[in-house]
Structure 1
Amino acid sequence: MKGIGISPGIALGKVFIYKEPEIVLFKKQVEDLNYETERLERAVEEGLSQIENIYDQVLKTLGKREAEIFNAHKMIMKDPEFVGLVERKIKSERVNAEWAVKEVVDYYIELFKNIEDGYLRERVLDLKDVSKRLLRILLGIETVDLGSLKEECIIVAEDLTPSDTAQMNKEVVIGLVTGLGGKNSHTSIMARTLEIPAITGLKGITNVAKNGDFMIIHGKEGLLLLNPSEKDIKRYKEKKRSYEEFKLKLTKMRREKSISKDGIKVDVLANIGNPKDVDKVIENNGMGVGLYRTEFLYMGRNKPPTEEEQFKAYKIVAERLAGRPVIIRTLDVGGDKDLPYLNLSREKNPFLGYRAIRLCLDMIDIFKMQLRAILRASAFGNIKIMFPMISNVKEIREIKRILEGIKKELRDQKIPFNENIEIGIMVEVPAVAIHSDIFAKEADFFSIGTNDLIQYTLAADRGNQDISYLYSQYHPAVLKLIKMTIENGHKEGIKVGMCGEAASDEKLIPILLAMGLDEFSMCPSSMLKARWIINKTSKTEVAAMLDAILSLATAEEVEKFIDEKIILS
């Protein structure tokens, strides 16, 4: 069977079928409305207590970034609009609390059902997770405790919520297989963080596999073998052994530099979301941070972070990296990532709407506060500023004007900062890539954001499974835009990096190296593998193939060419 590989690795073991207990709801008319609203209040309190325990558990085992998922769950459970709607339905329709919860959740799901944006779809999944917890508490339904599993197993489920994944016993769960989900779902992210092989996209798998069946999964390839032959078991045990040995070899790459076989040096940097992530960057000897996402500071709260809070979060990263570059991306939220306290209106097409730099240039006080904090922190390390979602030159010029005004304020107040701080832009809009010769005259560096560049170029939402076949980093049009951007940046003497997921794509790294990419920025856990690939690649040899690659017609042809012609040795 073939699914979607979401977390690499090979697992061989017995199947444990996980099915959520069925929730059967009936609409009942109630007389005592106070009793019913009190039932709801007690269930909300119990739900918050459970989520708080999960948050603490995930914080200890996985870190703040993964734990933030459950902050979002707490916000939903405490949301006065959500809980208030349920209470009003109980009182106005005189119905039981369970039915009121169901009706309100159905209302929200209907509201969001036609939205293609992946981020908002994840919020709907969060709402479903929270509502199921609330309904189980109200109905007194006990769930299977995945934390109590004693024997090694591969969990097979139609779907796994973040709560399910967070509570499972990591000592015995050796693999995950689900019918539903995507590469960027919370469960996928957790599986990769825990380094558990995982596959998704196998709808109906719980009707095919049974408890006790033997299963092999290949997380990178998305392959699943159910009740395999002895020959297959032997073959995959050998593959697993080779994979584990290779992982061990990669640890030696911490001492190596990122230099190609023919002596071309590049930098491998990390994408981080909070100061705690720096531990992994240092552990893997990363050359710095190519993308510091600042959204975490703004989320899970009811007002923007203060200048001082931001300053401390930026300063600690700069100090710990001791002179290595830290590229801080300014706030990248908007119609698709709602911050309640910004009172943003709903948009039909949020990825093309009021977000990122467009929002910041409008909400100027929030923008200036962040820029002040970044400038102040620049006195403590090699900080650079990067602006997302740039689409025209006027935006950069306006940013420079604002930045100069803030610099003057800091000088007048005798507050130290780096006078020569570099400012760069993300190249994620096709118009910017095409016009990159002009933009290169205005910026100190480029960072190619492939996640958005691909979806804008190919008109394919990266979070939409129905059209996932259209979204590909191997598409010749995307590769031509990347090559054009690198060449135009170099003509003006500026560095060009990449911070999208393509920067860690094992097949694409040799192509990007051959195109002249200066910096590869990625998830810290991918850095050692990327360094190994760079060390095994001859830039000159792959560069000689670029014309042939870019003349191909489809993404499939490009991928096939790479598989057959680019052999690392």
Structure 2
Amino acid sequence: MLNVSGIAASAGIAIAKAFILEHPNYSVEKREINDVDAEIAKLDSALGKSQAELEAIKERTLQELGEKKAEIFASHLLILNDPELIDPVKAKIADDKVNAEFALNETATQFIEMFENMKSAYLQERAADMRDVTKRVLNHLLGIEFMSPAEISEEVIVLAEDLTPSDTAQLNRQYVKGFATNIGGRTSHSAIMARSLEIPAVVGTKDILAQAKQGDMIIVDGLDGHVLVNPTDDVIAEYRSKQEQYDAQRAEWRKLRDEPTVTVDNVHVELAANIGTPNDVAGVLENGGEAVGLYRTEFLYMGRDKLPSEDIQYNAYKAVLEKMEGKPVVVRTLDIGGDKELPYLDLPKEMNPFLGFRAVRLCLDRLDIFRTQLRALLRASVHGNLRVMFPMIATLGEFREAKAVLLEEKEKLVAEGIAVSDSIQLGIMVEIPSTAVLADQFAKEVDFFSIGTNDLIQYTMAADRMNERVSYLYQPYNPAILRLVKMVIDAAHREGKWVGMCGEMAGDETAIPLLLGLGLDEFSMSATSILPARSQITKLSRADMQELAAKALDMQTAEQVVELVQSIQA
């Protein structure tokens, strides 16, 4: 048995066989061939195997997820059997004497480009289907053994170098019981998504891919940050017991689902959830969330070949607002850049993308993208309690410019006779130190602040949160960070504005007493963290925590602050 250590990213225990996720290389070389019949037979064989796979996937999807989800695979089968695609491929093999994979790739690329340039949204979407089908056939032509996360049909633990947003979007919680990655930290995309999906995860193991192979029995301990490879029966039994104890603790927390979050001295704070898609709202409500404190809209833009239309966005925002039934929903406008890319935007590579052309900076430059999103949000605003938040704001000028664009789009919609809510709050994420320092001026113009600690910490400490070699500098409890948080909260309260926090720090057991003492109004976290946080806060006194926070602010190191908090938790 091997015990690989990493970072506990999402709580829980998972036990299942390993599924190694490695993305294949689909680069194709042109080769001259002599036997045309043999090459066409190779293509026919690859098409036949692809057909059998798709029919099996379609049937399984129909049984498990319903007819609508199965429709995509029916579309793939139509493409696979379309003579408009297959006949030109065979003609190219025969006429140009080229290998099947090159002929397929060249022909399919022409169709994909044609579809992408069509005005019809339906035909544009066919480009993505064509691309998926082409990759499936290429797998067989190139001898690549690859199964996408969407095709997993048995209980597994996914092992990967890292998980991209499109990977996580395809994970089926019914079968993916947990995952472990070589790289990443508690605030990396894969860790955040694990908590949203409510599956155990360990990240930053460095070498789990080297230590495990396909089909190995794996235990992911998302409580203590361990991955066990091929454990003995006794160890499996021990971890099943640990899993049962954790499940019992969760059952106790669930009793608090419909209770208010009130301290022992009768101070109410709001516990909200961070979400990425409309489907995540179910988890918010199941865990007693009082609001959505962060809706990461960038996931609407990922896993597709072009920008989502205004109607696609409107339907997503409307769904979230309606499902939350009047509870506040804070929607962050597009935050692309840093560790999140959109291939179809073809943005230039940057030396330091976290400090570069991202978030509101991109939106104010690409107003076509920004205006489409704002129109969709404004149209959806009548369906619930919408609050709009601009990310990565560094100057008052940026906020004023973004607000002006929103007000322009509102005016246009009203002129078109489209209803728009008049009670939309406009706020900003505080994730840049200069914004925290100037919070007293921002507070005069915004309706609220939401502190994004994931980036605020890395920018304040000058330490890339994705770089494991400087991970020791990612210090949420450093007095410098606490002082910035206090500065923002105090500035907002002086102007009668509220302050939330949507970084991972908001759900951290050590940070919660400090944040309560600093006066934070709203704590937004992964849905699975809400009930443990509620249990913790209802046992604390705001007055006592104010004294605790005052002591922490005068300390010299993060370690001293942790010891201080632990002294009251003992």
Say whether the 8 Å CA contact 1:28–1:96 is kept in structure 2.
no
Farther off after superposition, 477-486 or 234-243: 234-243
> Partner of 1:31 in structure 2?
32
Rounded to whole Å, the distance in 2 between the matches of 1:387 and 1:165 is 25
Rounded to whole Å, the distance in 2 between the matches of 1:464 and 1:48 is 43
1:319-358 to structure 2, matched below 5 A, reads 319-334=322-337, 337-358=340-361
> Partner of 1:527 in structure 2?
530
Alpha-carbon shift at residue 522 of structure 1 (Å): 1.8
> Partner of 1:242 in structure 2?
245
Deviations 1:166-204 (A, max 9, x none): 999988987656655654677656755665544344455
Could you say if the C-alpha distance between residues 350 and 203 of structure 1 is closer, same or farther in structure 2, counting changes exceeding 3 Å? closer
Amino acid at match of 2:32: E
Deviations 1:335-362 (A, max 9, x none): 7543344443222222212222122222
> Partner of 2:427 in structure 1?
424
> Partner of 2:287 in structure 1?
284
Question: Given the alignment, which residue of 394, 411, 415 partners 1:412?
Answer: 415
Question: Given the alignment, which residue of 3, 6, 10 partners 2:9?
Answer: 6
1:387-398 to structure 2, matched below 5 A, reads 387-398=390-401
Alpha-carbon shift at residue 313 of structure 1 (Å): 2.2
Question: Given the alignment, which residue of 555, 561, 564 partners 2:558?
Answer: 555
Rounded to whole Å, the distance in 1 between the matches of 2:487 and 2:429 is 15
Say whether the 8 Å CA contact 1:10–1:197 is kept in structure 2.
yes
Amino acid at match of 2:476: Q
Could you say if the C-alpha distance between residues 378 and 542 of structure 1 is closer, same or farther in structure 2, counting changes exceeding 3 Å? same
Secondary structure at 1:292 match in 2: strand
> Partner of 1:371 in structure 2?
374
Rounded to whole Å, the distance in 2 between the matches of 1:510 and 1:284 is 21
> Partner of 1:255 in structure 2?
258
Deviations 1:2-30 (A, max 9, x none): 4322332246x7x9677799x99xx9995
Alpha-carbon shift at residue 487 of structure 1 (Å): 0.9
Rounded to whole Å, the distance in 2 between the matches of 1:131 and 1:402 is 41
Q: Does 1:445 align with 2:448?
A: yes
Secondary structure at 1:556 match in 2: helix
Farther off after superposition, 259-268 or 411-420: 411-420
Say whether the 8 Å CA contact 2:195–2:526 is kept in structure 1.
no
> Partner of 2:116 in structure 1?
none
Say whether the 8 Å CA contact 1:450–1:501 is kept in structure 2.
yes
Secondary structure at 1:461 match in 2: coil
Rounded to whole Å, the distance in 1 between the matches of 2:269 and 2:306 is 40
Deviations 1:215-266 (A, max 9, x none): 8764222146789999999986765443221111111111211111221101
Question: Given the alignment, which residue of 379, 400, 404 partners 1:401?
Answer: 404
Deviations 1:273-323 (A, max 9, x none): 222222222223322211122223333444433333322222232222222
Deviations 1:382-417 (A, max 9, x none): 111111111101122223333333333333333222
1:477-496 to structure 2, matched below 5 A, reads 477-496=480-499
Question: Given the alignment, which residue of 384, 387, 400 partners 1:384?
Answer: 387
Amino acid at match of 1:311: Y
Say whether the 8 Å CA contact 1:156–1:206 is kept in structure 2.
no
Secondary structure at 2:402 match in 1: helix
Unaligned 5+ segments in structure 2 are 67-72, 74-97, 106-132
Rounded to whole Å, the distance in 2 between the matches of 1:332 and 1:3 is 28
Farther off after superposition, 353-362 or 407-416: 407-416
Rounded to whole Å, the distance in 2 between the matches of 1:315 and 1:404 is 20
Alpha-carbon shift at residue 143 of structure 1 (Å): 7.6
Rounded to whole Å, the distance in 2 between the matches of 1:539 and 1:545 is 10
Say whether the 8 Å CA contact 1:156–1:205 is kept in structure 2.
no
TM-score, structure 2 length as denominator?
0.73
Alpha-carbon shift at residue 510 of structure 1 (Å): 1.6
Identity among equivalent pairs (%): 48
Rounded to whole Å, the distance in 2 between the matches of 1:458 and 1:558 is 17
> Partner of 1:116 in structure 2?
none
Secondary structure at 2:315 match in 1: helix
Amino acid at match of 1:362: D
Rounded to whole Å, the distance in 1 between the matches of 2:517 and 2:324 is 29
Could you say if the C-alpha distance between residues 349 and 262 of structure 1 is closer, same or farther in structure 2, counting changes exceeding 3 Å? same
CA RMSD of aligned residues (A): 5.1
Rounded to whole Å, the distance in 1 between the matches of 2:237 and 2:395 is 57
Could you say if the C-alpha distance between residues 52 and 222 of structure 1 is closer, same or farther in structure 2, counting changes exceeding 3 Å? farther
Rounded to whole Å, the distance in 2 between the matches of 1:281 and 1:435 is 33
Secondary structure at 1:542 match in 2: helix
> Partner of 1:473 in structure 2?
476
> Partner of 1:458 in structure 2?
461
Could you say if the C-alpha distance between residues 400 and 7 of structure 1 is closer, same or farther in structure 2, counting changes exceeding 3 Å? closer
Could you say if the C-alpha distance between residues 355 and 19 of structure 1 is closer, same or farther in structure 2, counting changes exceeding 3 Å? closer
Alpha-carbon shift at residue 371 of structure 1 (Å): 2.0
Rounded to whole Å, the distance in 1 between the matches of 2:416 and 2:172 is 54
TM-score, structure 1 length as denominator?
0.73
1:145-164 to structure 2, matched below 5 A, reads none
Rounded to whole Å, the distance in 2 between the matches of 1:220 and 1:317 is 30
Amino acid at match of 2:325: A
